[in-house]
Homo-oligomer: A and B are copies of this chain.
Amino acid sequence: MTPPIVAVVGGGQLARMMAPAATELGVILRVLVESPAAASALPAHETVIGLPKDPQAIQELLAEPRPDVLTWEHEHIPAEVFAAAEAAGVPALPGLGALTFAQDKIEMRQRMDALGLPNPDWAHVQTEDDVASFLASHGGEAVLKTSRGGYDGKGVRIVREPSEASDWLAAAAEGGPRILIEAKVPYTRELAALAARSPSGEVVTWPVVESIQRDGVCSEVIAPAPGLTADESREAREVAARVATELGVVGVLAVEMFDTGEHVLINELAMRPHNSGHWTQDGSVTSQFEQHLRAVLDLPLGATDALAPVTVMANVLGGSREDLPSALSDVTDPAAKIHLYGKEVRAGRKVGHVNVTGADSDEVYRRAVDAAAIVRDGGAA
């Protein structure tokens, strides 16, 4: 008996939700957490307390019995972690080469262009003149982004005047993250395509989902995306599979996309299990968390078929209920699959989600949203 050991950098809910999959597969999950109160600390099979930038903690994570692989649940991984893994003879997956494209939006856009994959118009901007020039040729309004460090709506702003970019441009000139500007795409909705790839090169994709955002944060996901044409679905899945292959991603990759009504354009990449894939826990033969473990261990990948005509995932963002576990008594819908992350409630913080599967899209959507509202606030949406 030599169970595989997967080391994970990250104390959040994504590492937490790898634990059930690891338990079922008989895989040992060893997690680096920032504190014993981290979301992944209790469910992990083994824990190391420390930060990714702490060399001692990383050595402990890589200690004997050596993990078969090291992976991570967020993109803020110092290059030293990869170096330490290499020195220990432990593959770190996805690798630093791939990670760069999830960490840096300019690198990503350049690479997508080089691959002929569907980007919105964009430019690297260094001066207000660059911004003015882009605005002039794109209807006077565009999306300004920091190339690194943004998430959940942070590091993104709509600009109509070059002066609105001045603080970020100044910071970039002083060594801060570079700045890019993107055309404001006239999209009808946001989609996400989830893929997984193993080191052997096997690639699978799940049905394409619609991702509904509120205030820049994912609110609900509908799987599959309602009314998506077969052509668009194929296009989106091909884009995700191609990105995974061309960038050498290992594990789960989420490609967030804009749906223009006829085509898809790439918005962002995430190289890890992703909020847009939480529906797979209850709605697909293989969840993204099991698949991520399978992929980084180079095991045969599991089937990605949906288990029901429709699955809706509704996020629980921190609201008026502070004692989240008390919600378990209040949600009486027998179809509501509740997932709580064991995190302290703070306003707007992702603290859980609800999945509902069924046949009728509107009904399933309503039930998921209602259940999530009860978890959050104790009342209907």
Contact = CB atoms under 8 A, between A and B. Distances in A.
Contacts of A322: 1
A299 interface: yes
Interface residues of A, number: 54
A2 B42 CA distance: 14
Contact of A337 (B27, B285, B334): B285
A166 to B, nearest CB: 42
Nearest to A285: B335
B20 A23 contact: yes
Nearest to A46: B42
Interface string A17-33: 10111011111100000
A341 B302 contact: no
B286 A334 contact: yes
Contact of A328 (B17, B46, B285, B299): B299
A299 B333 CA distance: 11
A328 B282 CA distance: 22
A57 interface: no
Interface in A255-304: 281-282, 285-286, 294, 297-303
Interface of A: 1-4, 16-17, 19-21, 23-28, 42-43, 45-46, 204, 281-282, 285-286, 294, 297-303, 307-308, 322-325, 328-329, 331-332, 334-335, 337-342, 344-345, 352, 357
